[in-house]
Amino acid sequence: MSSIGAPPFSNLFAVPPWPVRKFTVAEYHQLIQAGILTENDPVELIEGWIVPKMPHNPPHDGTVDNARERVERLLPTGWRVRVQSAITTADSEPEPDVVVVPSPASLYYTRHPEPHEIAVVIEVAESSLARDRGEKCRSYARACIVCYWIINLVHRQVEVYTDPTGPTGIPSYRQRIDYGPTDSVPLVIAGQQVGLIPVADLLP
C-alpha cells in the first residue's frame, strides 16, 4: 500500500480545431427525451462533452460483477449498489461501473443519484485507465464525490481517491492511496469503515 498525491490531470478530450459546443445536463436530457440519443448509443456526458463510452471485454465485465458482489456483502442496511447506471452532477452524467447509494431503488425512478448521496464510485480500468485517472477523476472531484476507486487491471492495484477539492480551477483529490495485491481496501460508507476487501479478491 502506498500513499501519494493525486496526479495532475491532462486534458485528454482535445478540442477540435473548429467550432464546437458543450452541452448542459438539461440539454443532454432533452436529447435523450427526444430520442436523438437512445440506450443503444454508447455515449455519456463528461464535463459538458458527449463522449463515447469505452468498449467492454470479459476481464472488465467480470471484474465489475465481482466488485458489485464483494461490496454488497459489506453494505449496512439502507444502502445499495448500482452497476453501470448514470449519476448526475452539475456538468456531467457519467455511468460509473459501480456506485454505492442510499436505498430504496424507488428513489431513482424519476432521477439519477446525485453527488451528495454517493458513498463511493468505482471504475474498472484497463484500456480506459487514462480517462479514469483524468477526466473521470477530475469530474468526480469537482462534484465532491467523497470517495473514488479505480480497480486498475493494468498495474493490478486499487487506487482510492479521497478528500476532493470541489469546483476549483483544477479539481482533484488531495489524497490517493494505492493498494496492491497483498493489501485489503477499506470500504467506508458515510464516514464509517464497514469492512475490508482483499485486493486479490477484486482482480481477475
CB atoms within 10 A of CB 180: 14
What residue type is assigned to position 103 of the chain? S
**Count of domains forming the chain:** 1
State pLDDT tens for residues 27-56: 888 988 899 988 888 888 888 888 888 777
Closest CA to 178 of 155, 162, 159, 202: 159
Q: Is the pLDDT of residue 179 over 50?
A: yes
Say how far apart CA 70 and CA 73 lie, in whole Å: 6
Q: With contact defined as beta carbons under 8 Å apart, do 126 and 143 qualify?
A: no
- Residue 120, pLDDT score: 98
The answer to whether residue 87 is domain-embedded is yes
- Print the domain residue range for 132: 55-202
Say how far apart CA 146 and CA 188 lie, in whole Å: 10
The answer to whether residue 152 is domain-embedded is yes
The answer to whether residue 15 is domain-embedded is no
CATH number of the domain bearing residue 155: 3.90.1570.10
Q: Residue range 109-125: average pLDDT?
A: 98
- Residue 53, pLDDT score: 83
Q: Residue range 57-83: average pLDDT?
A: 96
Q: With contact defined as beta carbons under 8 Å apart, do 68 and 83 qualify?
A: yes
The answer to whether residue 77 is domain-embedded is yes
- Residue 103, pLDDT score: 97
Say how far apart CA 202 and CA 204 lie, in whole Å: 7
- Residue 49, pLDDT score: 86
Q: How far is CA 70 from the centre of its chain?
A: 17
Of the two residues 32 and 70, the one the predictor is more confident about is 70
The answer to whether residue 14 is domain-embedded is no
Q: Is the pLDDT of residue 15 over 70?
A: no
- Residue 14, pLDDT score: 63
The answer to whether residue 170 is domain-embedded is yes
The answer to whether residue 5 is domain-embedded is no
Say how far apart CA 119 and CA 153 lie, in whole Å: 23
The answer to whether residue 17 is domain-embedded is no
